[in-house]
Chains A and B, each alone.
Chain A
């Protein structure tokens, strides 16, 4: 600590001098500078390179060695003989992936928010060992996605524990991961299992911020618990719910690690999502189609931005609603 103090004391005179010269407001740029620099070099620059990839063809890695092809990659992605039949598209797996991702996101986010809310409500009550229970639900968030997927893949394999229990109970084993519907279900379940704790805590924080006099008043009016929930708790929790909704949606659309290790995108393409398509096109094949992968990723990014802007508009509408109440 003393060392840090020493280091800091050294800087102070420099700072005071700079401040006099620049004025306080310009110092804002100094503070945000390092973050911007790292971001610029390691995130923004790669995005620019990605755009270069998207408008070039060939299989060369170095962007400048690639021939310019204009919008050809986008053309390949969007080429379909019949726009109502995915199978007739040139890159049918791309469209399947988009459709799967949309389906996954809607269902997963709805269930995730629901279960996070229920868990937060339960955890908000007076229960013994609340810290312990909080830890129980938050714990999976700390595991790496690969570990999460490996563990569940282990349990769900045809020779795994789940089927052992079924066989023990006299039932026939179920193809958990090789049946398209079940595989899809498990991708949703596993991703909720792994991330629910995070959102639960955000909602729990929101619940703890609700002033108690409102509940006192409700009790005076002899309100039932469900009515209290609907009229008081949920409306006041809305800002946190919106945060959870936006974050969960962004994460859901970007799902990859868990699912890829769990099902590999199978069976067939039942659980192939958009990021996996991009990864496979650009990385896993022998012939790396960097251009196509970049075009798909730009499409994804634009879609996500649009989606988030829509959600944020909802937020602002809600904030306005709050203020006028």
Chain B
């Protein structure tokens, strides 16, 4: 065997030599900031242009934007970070789960007070430990979950749109009437997502957290699950969206909405651009305020955040670039061009000029922005909770099983509970 060792040791040596020759330098060096970004529309493209502006003002720094699939952010980035590798900045959605890798950039900021006043409301979502006062990044957008309705179908059916304080049941009844009159496939569809599901659940009285701050499945949550399953059984809900996948894979309902297969969908503010482009003049659509449940009329806030990471090799430049992106002018340009609601308190008050948005889109953005005021505090807590996916993912998987008749609703609820506690227990080991 020692002879094998002699011969084969030459191989890795030769390889490492050629490695240097054929690949460009893969190590980050000081003065370079790598940004890992995903986009639903043009978020990364707009950021790249902002980066060029930054580079012209700071010639010593180079910003590289790596546009990656969302899958990479969700599945690969955590693994990389755990192994001690990773970019300087990333656009992430699992705010709590990755918080242990965030880098505090407060020492590199020009105006700390500006950050506190404009991003203070959502800063807690990024905090690794509750009450942490460090600055780890900022929300690139504020998204809100909420429904869209096909106004044209309502008109054709001669059914009036329910008012802003209508309940989910009232909306379901109205949409059902419309669907029957216009021969639409189904009345409603919700995105296949535990995040979307949580909105109506919280409105229905689900507290999500018990007195100790642990996740819990209470009566409000149970009622929502039961009602959701019942709506599928009686044909109110379009089966394809939730039943078309297994496990906890995400699926959206907007495609069905655009094709006129449903009257109403529960999705979110990030779809505005897409609706504007794909619906065009086919029919009139609008965003409506979140319907009410027993205790609230709430959606769930959310959004992706730009975060600085501990793996950064150029922390000063990282802080400087994040500071630059967060200025009012740049943030406003980003929000306007990507049709996103700003998470910036000052801009939210001033309003964004969505120059490229059509009237329908502008109205929708207005509805969602107004909806921020009716967000339940539970919704905020839910969004910021580190292990919220422990309840979101099993909900999707188990409720689907109940919908297709694999298990009963009660069994599904038991399983959600069990899966949820299993996951959290392992996470705390």
**Interface flag for B78 (CB, 8 Å):** yes
Q: Which of A27-35, A107-115, A236-244 interfaces with chain B? A: A27-35
What is the CA–CA distance of A57 and B390 in the complex, to the nearest angstrom?
17
Give the A-B pair count, Cβ closer than 8 A: 131
Residue of B245, B246, B393, B411 with most partner-chain A CB within 10 A: B246
Report the minimal beta-carbon distance from B214 to chain A, rounded to whole angstroms. 14
**B75, A287: Cβ atoms closer than 8 Å:** no
**Interface flag for A26 (CB, 8 Å):** yes
**B75, A268: Cβ atoms closer than 8 Å:** no
Q: Which of A268-304 contact B (CB under 8 A)?
A: 268-272, 276, 280, 283-289, 291-292
**Interface flag for B349 (CB, 8 Å):** no
Collect the chain A residues with CB atoms within 8 Å of residue B426's CB: 57-59, 287, 289, 291-292
Count, chain B residues at interface, CB 8 A: 47
Count, chain A residues at interface, CB 8 A: 48
**Interface flag for A233 (CB, 8 Å):** no
Report the minimal beta-carbon distance from B238 to chain A, rounded to whole angstroms. 9
* Per-position 1/0 for A9-47, Cβ under 8 A of B: 000000000100010001001100110110000000000
Q: Which of B152-160, B313-321, B398-406 interfaces with chain A? A: B398-406
**A90, B259: Cβ atoms closer than 8 Å:** no
Q: Which of A36, A59, A87, A268 contacts B400 (CB 8 A)?
A: A268
**B389, A286: Cβ atoms closer than 8 Å:** yes
**A268, B240: Cβ atoms closer than 8 Å:** no
What is the CA–CA distance of A61 and B74 in the complex, to the nearest angstrom?
15
Instruction: Kindly report which residue of chain B lies nearest to residue A153, judged by CB atoms.
Output: B244
Collect the chain B residues with CB atoms within 8 Å of residue A67's CB: 429
Instruction: Kindly report which residue of chain A lies nearest to residue B399, judged by CB atoms.
Output: A268
What is the CA–CA distance of A288 and B423 in the complex, to the nearest angstrom?
8
What is the CA–CA distance of A61 and B387 in the complex, to the nearest angstrom?
17
Collect the chain B residues with CB atoms within 8 Å of residue A217's CB: none
Q: Which of B413-427 contact A (CB under 8 A)?
A: 415, 418, 422-424, 426-427
**Interface flag for A263 (CB, 8 Å):** yes
Collect the chain A residues with CB atoms within 8 Å of residue B422's CB: 76, 90
Collect the chain A residues with CB atoms within 8 Å of residue B7's CB: 30, 33
Which B residues have a C-beta under 8 Å from some C-beta of A?
A: 1, 3-4, 7-8, 11, 74-75, 78-79, 82-83, 94, 97, 239-240, 243-249, 251, 259, 261, 387, 389-390, 393, 397, 400-401, 403-407, 411, 415, 418, 422-424, 426-427, 429
| In the A-B complex, the 4 residue pairs with the closest CB atoms | A265-B246, A266-B246, A264-B245, A61-B82
Which A residues have a C-beta under 8 Å from some C-beta of B?
A: 18, 22, 26, 29-30, 33-34, 36-37, 57-62, 67, 76, 87, 90, 92-93, 158-159, 175, 177-178, 180, 263-272, 276, 280, 283-289, 291-292
